[in-house]
Amino acid sequence: DSRSVVNAAQRPFCRCSAQPLSDHRSPKMAFLQCFKCFVLSGLVLAMISAMKQGPMYSKQEDIYSFQDPTEMISKQTSLVLYQISTNGNRPPYLCMTSSFVTYEAPGYIRNVEYYTPNLRDTGRLVDYNNITFKMTPNTTMNSQPFIHLEPRGDLPQAASIWLQSQSARDQSVLFSNSKCIILGTYFHQRGRTFCLLWLPKEDVNQPPKYCEFMMLALCATPIYNVYHTEKQLCDFIRKQPYRNLARMSQDRKNNDLSSAGGDAGTVPPR
Whether the CB-CB separation of 147 and 154 falls below 8 Å is answered with no
The CATH number given to whatever domain includes residue 131 is 2.40.128.20
Whether 115 and 261 have beta carbons less than 8 Å apart is answered as: no
Residue 111's pLDDT is what?
97
Same structural domain, 22 and 102:
no
DSSP-derived letter for residue 87 is S
Residues 223 and 152 in one domain: yes
Strand bridging mode 79-85 / 223-224:
antiparallel
3-class DSSP state of 59: coil
Q: Is residue 158 part of a domain?
A: yes
Tell me if 58 is assigned to some domain: no
* 116 part of a folded domain: yes
User: Which DSSP category does 40 fall into?
Assistant: H
Same domain, 20 and 135: no
- CB-based contact 268:240 (threshold 8 Å): yes
**What is the count of structural domains for the chain?**
2
Give the alpha-carbon dihedral of 212, 217, 218, 224, to 10 degrees. Answer: 50
| 3-state per-residue secondary structure call for 176-228 | ECCCCEEECCCCCCCCCECCEEEEEHHHCCCCCHHHHHHHHHHECCCEECHHH
Whether 26 and 75 map to the same domain: the answer is no
User: What is the Cα–Cα distance from 230 to 117, expressed in whole angstroms?
Assistant: 14
Residue 100 domain-assigned (yes or no): yes
In a domain, 104, yes or no: yes
Distance CA 170, CA 173 (A): 9
Please tell me whether residues 85 and 135 are part of one structural domain: yes
192 and 125 in one domain?
A: yes
Domain that holds residue 42: 2-51
Same domain? 43 vs 128:
no
Q: Is residue 249 helix, strand or coil? A: coil
Do 70 and 21 fall within a single domain?
A: no
CB distance 69 to 98 below 8 Å: no
DSSP code for 156: -
80 lies in a domain? yes
pLDDT at 35: 66
In a domain, 108, yes or no: yes
pLDDT along the chain (270 residues), means of 10: 45 53 62 70 64 76 93 96 89 93 96 87 79 95 93 85 86 96 81 92 96 95 95 88 36 38 43
Residues 81, 46 within the same domain? no
Pairing verdict, β 126-138 and 146-152? antiparallel
Could you give the CA distance from residue 218 to residue 130 in angstroms, rounded to a whole number? Answer: 30
Q: How far is CA 178 from CA 63, 98, 200, 218, 270, in A?
A: 17, 15, 9, 20, 26
**Same domain, yes or no, for 27 and 94?**
no
In a domain, 182, yes or no: yes
- Do 100 and 21 belong to one domain? no
Backbone Cα Rg of the chain: 30
Element (H, E) at 31: helix 27-51
Residues 225, 175: one domain?
yes
Q: What is the pLDDT of residue 22?
A: 53
